[in-house]
Structure 1
Amino acid sequence: MNAFRTGLPALLAAGLASGAIAQTPAPPAPAVRPRPAAPIPPAPDPAFEAARTAFEALPEAERRGLQDALVWTGDYNGVTTGAFGKRSFEGIQTYQTRTGATPTGLLTPPERVALKREAEEARRAARFRVQPDPASGAVVGVPEALLPKKSAIPGGTRWQSADGRVTLDTKSFPQGETSLDALFERATAAMPGRKVTYKLKKPDFIVVTAETAGGRSYIRYAEGPQGIRGFTLGYDRALAETVDRLVIAVANNFTPFPEATPAASAPAAPTTAASPTPHAPAAPPSPGAQAEVRPAGTGLLLGGGRVLTAASTLEACAVPRVAGAAARIERRDAAGSLALLSAEGLAGAPPPLRTEAVSEGEALLVLGAQAKGRPSVAPAAAAVDGVYAPLQPGAAGAPVLDRSGRLVGLVARFPAAPRLIAGVMPPTRYSIVPGKVVAAFLGESGVPAATGAPPAKDAATTLGGAAAPVLGAVVAITCAR
């Protein structure tokens, strides 16, 4: 048996050798690499899921308020979106541990009251005031107790601490003077003794943080119809424990392009025992004054007195008016997403259609009608089956363009009860009716529509340049009463 075992390999080797003379051996089969097994997702954390369920059951305003309160108590360093994630969970646990409670990540009603009280005390101690900055056009939150010195700088305003160790600068650039790309490259450029600790670049805004041996900085810029606006906050590293939470509060309350600048521009009145509230009540409207009618939606002129809009615009609008003129509903599509109106005396040329799909994250813009004046121009980014943008009420039916000025689609719907911050809806995802659906609907309606060819790679334009040819075709749709 042992001899058999010993001789078998030699015999096979000899046979293979003699066979090799008679014929060419077949090439070896390619090695098959086993496909790696899919990673098994971790089991959900019961404590986290319980906390998330309880948090998400609260109204959105309450969720945002709790996150903002955690910022002021120094327990949370994220944005106040109202969404519950790991940072919110850990922030609540940190707060509970600091106050001697069991760190469940789930706030009880008494804990919510105590948290808000502590946050309000910190906010008042900082004399934090969200205010318009006429020099830059933005709305910014300023901790005036820390930054009492105020002075003008080119294109903005400077707030500074008494000892000069903390500085907050707002800054604006008119359309075409610079670009987000240039500002981002400048902010992230390598410099001796300076380390970039975080950088984020989106189609319509950038954020960069950096450190030196003695200081820290936070830079944020956003692009909009009026150009680029932003702020820079620099401070002594030794003050980080105090200033870090203020940086987050300033960032969360910064509005680069408010729809309307808040009227309050004077310093808030000090709180006294006789005056428990820091702000006087707003004056009632004068007798006989008519409230401004907001658009029910936005329409796009197609020529020949015809207007295209989203069907959702007409859900509560049986008698629509277009640019102040009486309008008639001609037809709707079978899916209930688009509507065609007609009105006399209207003329305008629509943009060329883009029927090919956009890629996620592609830079876009949205033109929304306003009650008075020219349409608003909002920078946007393509999202899955939609668009991510800071839109205003009346944006249902608003045309969505790519940066070459081609029509990508229409905003399908705007929420009935939006939450505005300083008059502006924060960036939100909206569904759109895509260009290929618009093209099919116009074809069925007998409306000619031009399809634009993709632009050359070097033909990219600015936000204002892409919007300018289409502004005259964007009209407000209102409801007759």
Structure 2
Amino acid sequence: MAHRDRVRWLAGGLVALSGASAEAQVPPAPQKPAAVQKPAAPDPVYDAARAAYEALPEAERKGLQDALVWTGDYNSVVTGTYGRRTHDALLAYAARTGAREAAFPGPATRATLLAAGAAARKAGQFAVRRDGPSGVTLGVPERLLPKRSGTPGGTRWQSADGAITLETKSFPPGETDLDAIFARITAPTPDRKVTYKLKRPDFLVVTAETAQGKSYIRYAAGAPGIRGFTIGYGKGAAAEVDRLVIAIANSFVPFEEAAPASERGPAVAVAPAPAPPVRRPPAATGLVIGPGRVLTSAQALAACTEPTIAGRPARVVATDRILTLLDWTPPAPGGPPPVPRDTPVKQAEAVVVLGAEEGGTVAVAPGETVGEGIAAPLQPGSGGAPVLDRSGNLVGLVSSYPTAPRLVAGVVPTTRYALVPGARIAAFLAENRIPAGSRPADPAPASLGAVTGRLAGLVVGIACGR
């Protein structure tokens, strides 16, 4: 399928979600000549950002737009071209994460953005593949929709409770046409309101609402017939699922046969979905603060009687019901531990949380201070995780993580967490004769990558034997 045709399909549908025209617009109907308007005033910031963006390889340009979809900052078509929506999305991301670039983000911020998008995709288990029964290619958030079954001419994916459904559908040539489908799905009913409808000779998009839910329908017509998908979900999940609909729409290719063979995805036969692998996140996160010593929150390890780190036993050597000090024989740490901050944090101050994940990786979560705690999108195992300010000082540790966190679209959203403050940590370390670390040579605010890089090798996951 030609790239231009795919952009047209995407642009029409994403208008319905964004409430405004997408960057790649469907051409408007001819209008009477309007009065000549003065050209817009030059915008040197926008022009410079556009020039920097267009100098990047196409794969990175598209990757940045896709990542902005997943961070919730962009709600339009992934084309690799620069427009106001991309410009505003990059500015919104920079402001929200505390990046210091005034115009276009530099390499470090772009790398952080791409990593954030990849992490969100991974968290939702978003897999783009070809659906054999319908012939379409699209992305499926498999963590959100683990149930899969075959339907006539397509496949149905559902959430565990059946409240969210994604379904592909295909019709062979001559069985029906877009006019008939459009008339059927836009027909008025007492309990359903069509909120957007668009029909062109080769595609249609319709969105609708009921008192409880929302739906998004897209069909395309081509030589093999008619193919499309429908997704329906409750309004309570709209904040997260609306974003997923944008990602699904951006991935949708109705007629992959028209693409070169080298670009086609493998067809997927419908079979009972295998059980997802059992994920065992760490019970808590620890911070190496000296040779053989790991600091964590006591509350995060309250139910853990046999802690281990990287498969080795970790013995409790000191605790005061707020903090716990473990004895462990680790590999040589990557650098000096951070110094506990001795000044109070300000409200809405930007912070970074480093939580241990399964397999020894570290999740980097930007957040901000709220009251005496923080607000951040943390994942299981973040109890005891170090919280740093943008100068690399230790603001505190995450006190605990809930045993049953609230999930939205299979992902834990930004939530408030209690904090063990830096002053309390400093006192505990002094009582146990643990020398303070060294402060960063440059106290000026730094990027996420620079701040987190200083703790390479010092953040560890703590597992429980029972």
TM-score by length of 2: 0.49
Greater RCO between the two (CA within 8 Å, min separation 6)?
2
Return the index of the structure with the highest Cα Rg. 1
The normalised TM-score by structure 1 is 0.47
